[in-house]
Structure 1
Amino acid sequence: MESEHEAAVGTLRGRRIAILVQNLPVPFDRRVWQEATSLAAAGADVTVICPSDEHHPVGDFVIDGVGVNRYEAPREAKGIFGYVNEYVVSLSRMTRTFEVARSVAPFDIVHFCNPPDLLYLVAKRAKREDGSVLVFDQHDIGPELVQAKRMPLPWLFVGVARLCEQRTYAWADHVISTNESYRDIAMRRGRFIGSDVTVVRSGPSRSWASYRSTGEDWHRGRRYLLGYVGVMGRQEGIEYLIDAVKVLVAERHLDVHLALIGSGPDRGRLESLARTRGIADRVEFHGRVPDDVMKSILADADVCVNPDEVNTMNDLSTMNKIIEYMALGRPIVQFDVREGRYSARDASLYATRDNDARSFAHAVEQVLGDPALARRMGEAGRARFEEQLCWEIQAERLTTTYGRLAAERAAATAATAVGEAVPQHWIDLEASDMKRRAEA
């Protein structure tokens, strides 16, 4: 008997899907690229529209069976007016690129991602004119993200973020959430029913679990190596991590080296902080590196760390780094945030005091001092990753959902073409969408 997933794969063959992402180019944006290639592997005709960067040039390409249309990204914003200009320019260029792609043939489904919560402005014309199904892939929760960034005039920018989120929900027919916390928010703030929100978690492919170290030593002559990968912004809590290394070295007399992989707007300040704390020789900023280098560094780490500060945004968000650490079988130390604990469970030790460098250092010292504990944590994380969190499991949920959406759109289109009654659940869905748009 044909499974629901197998039926979905059959339904997706030849369906046109557009994916809109402004935050990063593909294939660099791993989640978006995994979604695109999984849908293409299921038979869909997938086009990703995204910005360029210094490593991903402007132009139209076909990569691994996926069409990639990159527009020129505006210069990085500085200040409030700079951000406004960046969004206006980027949305204008994305819209032009999308309209060219749409002129070839209508898209059955338009999948748009945040941040920012503005891409519905690009997608909504396809819904109005072509009857395209709009799917909102919610990577972040905008109001909480603004609060976590500690921006000036918080009342104003949080209000703007809430309005943009409301409008995004109002135009979406379906929401893809990265975890159950985001799903609850979509149902509560977006007023979606449960069947219109699908949880598709982020995570690497199952093959990561079979990765073995290349033997390269990243300890730089130190006894212990701590590994971190991720964005470097204020809300990532890397300041706590640097202070924790200072405690481990100066007070606990542990021979520790810290490898930081990634970059971001806070990198310069963090480099200065490491020098001020007198541990610049213990902290190595690797920047953005290829996946094979990243895996090599993290696989060599004695402990992988997630210092995300405890706040509403981080409490509700799933961090990709946690799943990557688990995939590589590394023990983890982090603050006790809800979704971080849900992901890692026994693969992690949790600092007993929130946003406290000494407490974080104590948890790291516990793992470093107990090799048997570290081994059990690593094994538990790898097993949970393979059995529940790897991308292959998430991809099946994604393609099953997309197959259902494509089938429902095809049925509604066919019924309209021959003058038959449109299925009642589509009438109900359109009425619900209209209500959300009016209330937003």
Structure 2
Amino acid sequence: MIGMGNPRGIAGRPLRVLFLVENAPVPGDRRVWNEALTLAQVGFQVSIVCPKWGYPGFYEERQGIRIYRVPLPSLGGIAGHLVEYLIATPVLFLYTALIFLRDGFDVIHAANPPDFLFTIGRVFKWLGKKFVFDQHDVVPEACASRWSGIRMRLTYAIASWTEHASYRTADIVIVPNESVRRLAVERGGIDPARAFVVRNAIGLAHFRDAQPRAELRRGRRHLVFYAGVIGPDDGLDQLMLAARHIVAKRGRQDIHFAVLGDGDCAPQVKQMSQRLGLGDVVEFTGWVKDDRLIADYLATADVCVVPDPKTPVNDLCSMNKMVEYMAMGKPVVAFDLKEAQETGGGAALYVTADGHAGPEAFGDGILELLSSPGMRESMGRIGRQRFNEFLAWEHQQASLLRAYQTLLGYPSVLVA
């Protein structure tokens, strides 16, 4: 793989990178954790500040990476998000200042959302530090997808301003796909030579030794599987409507649905499941931190789903869950999102999102795959090949390190 030659600074000490993450704990955020591990493996000294959510301690050193976990709120709605960010930004600034005084750093690597972290970057750029804007999400499009009327116009204006300020502050920009890179170049005015695609991915050996487990089907013939966030953009309401269509209108009682994950909309989705009479059909496990159990669910699943509806933000998103499904050679049903099709290629059945008919078509897509073992096998094979040859983290590391070579001016070298 491509590495970096001797990433060292003054007096021969390792160059130091501080990751700032507001909306997910690490290593739960696999993208940030993969990036941090890759940089540490080539010689950087890496620290991370992130929320404490779900983790017992406030500090941990794991695989040579220092992780500072901060007690931050997680609030929903427009007012809740603003309050959360107004609390989180000064708290993260305080931690950044303390780490600067204690350990020092040369680079701040800020992962969005939110796009408010440029304020911290600007302060430390005055002290000669570099700032990386790692744009996980396109927040203006998220606002346009979630709200309407005056709320949409207000949030879109704020998000557009903070995104633009993040671009202007950044020394380099890292994005998850070519669609977002085009936005950074065309809307953000970023020099194409400073915008790098690093796709969301897992390693080739991440889900090793997985075994199908019949008990995960809960006595039914088939298992339909979802793993990921249960938020306003993730389409779990669409999945519930599709499940009701399968059970009530198509009369199928032999399919179990497993939903691994959590998020702001989880309580409402669980209530919806009960209201639709799906209490014994859909299983909600919450977050599962045991990768072996996730792998066993994937090995057992007959069909995996990406129910994210067609919206401006989802069209631009590269879904972590889709890559994980493909890594395990599983066929996928998804709506016809631009980036889902770019990621999945022939590994998925894409359903046209057509208003109220969308969930029914999605349910029929699931049934079509369940009725065709040959189609499932072919899609799974295509997905696994795309993962092995293009999508796996091992293929993303080179782009990340090229980004840091550009940032710091180090030449490329070939290492084992």
Superposition TM-score, scaled by structure 1 size: 0.87
For residues 375-419 of structure 1, give each alpha carbon's deviation from its aligned partner in whole angstroms, at most 9, with x where no partner exists: 01111101110110001111122123213322369xxxxxxxxxx
The match for 1:429 is none
**Structure 2 residue 350 is the aligned partner of structure 1 residue 337:** no
Q: Secondary structure at the match of 1:18?
A: strand
The alpha-carbon distance between structure 1 residues 263 and 128, as it changes in their structure 2 partners (threshold 3 A), is: same
Distance 1:32 1:253, change over 3 A: same
Q: 1:150 aligns with which of 147, 151, 155?
A: 147
Partner of 1:268: 267
Checking the alignment, whether the CA contact within 8 Å between 1:240 and 1:307 is kept in structure 2 is yes
Alignment partners' CA distance in 1, 2:300 and 2:294: 10
1:78 and 1:286 map into 2 onto residues whose CA distance is 21
Match of 1:258 in 2: 257
Gapped regions of structure 1 (runs ≥ 5): 410-440
2:185 is matched with which residue: 184, 187, 201?
A: 187
1:110–1:132 contact (8 Å) kept in structure 2: yes
| Distance in 1, Cα, partners of 2:353 & 2:51 | 40
Equivalent residues of 1:144, 1:312 under 8 A apart: yes
Q: How does 1:19-418 map to 2 (within 5 A)?
A: 19-59=19-59, 61-73=60-72, 75-77=73-75, 80-104=78-102, 106-129=104-127, 131-150=128-147, 153-208=151-206, 210-213=208-211, 215-254=213-252, 255-290=254-289, 291-354=291-354, 356-407=358-409
Question: Which shows bigger deviation, 116-125 or 98-107?
Answer: 98-107
Partner of 1:422: none
Distance 2:142 2:78 in 1: 16
Normalised TM-score (structure 2): 0.92
Gaps of 5+ in 2: 412-416
- How many Å apart are 1:210 and its aligned residue? 4.5
Describe the superposition over 1:258-296 as per-residue Cα deviations: whole angstroms up to 9, x where unpaired: 100101111111112112211211010111012222221
Tell me how far 1:126 sits from its aligned partner: 1.5
CA distance in 2, matches of 1:318, 1:82: 26
Report the Cα distance in structure 1 between the residues aligned to 2:79 and 2:250, rounded to whole angstroms.
47
SS in structure 2 at match of 1:235: coil
Structure possessing the higher radius of gyration over alpha carbons = 1
Indicate how the Cα distance of structure 1 residues 209 and 9 shifts in structure 2: closer, same or farther if over 3 A, else same.
Answer: farther
Output the aligned Cα RMSD.
Answer: 1.9
Q: 2: CA distance between counterparts of 1:352 and 1:385?
A: 24
Distance 1:248 1:195 in 2: 49
Q: Does the CA contact (< 8 Å) of 2:210 and 2:292 recur in 1?
A: no
Q: How many angstroms apart in 1 are the aligned matches of 2:353 and 2:114?
A: 32
Aligned residues: 402
Larger mean CA deviation between 389-398 and 78-87 belongs to 78-87
| Matched residue type, 1:366 | E
Render the CA deviation track for 1:18-46: whole Å, top value 9, x for unaligned.
Answer: 11111112111111111111100010011
Indicate conservation of the 8 Å contact 1:9/1:403, yes or no.
Answer: no
Go from structure 1 to structure 2 and tell me whether the alpha carbon gap of 1:387 and 1:79 turns closer, same or farther (over 3 Å shift). closer
- Residue 11 (1) aligns with residue 7 (2): yes
Q: Contact 2:201 / 2:393 at 8 angstroms: preserved in 1? A: yes
**1:243 Cα deviation (Å)?**
1.2
Tell me, yes or no, if the aligned pair for 2:135 and 2:173 is still in contact at 8 Å. yes
SS of the residue 2:115 aligns to: coil
Higher helix share: 1
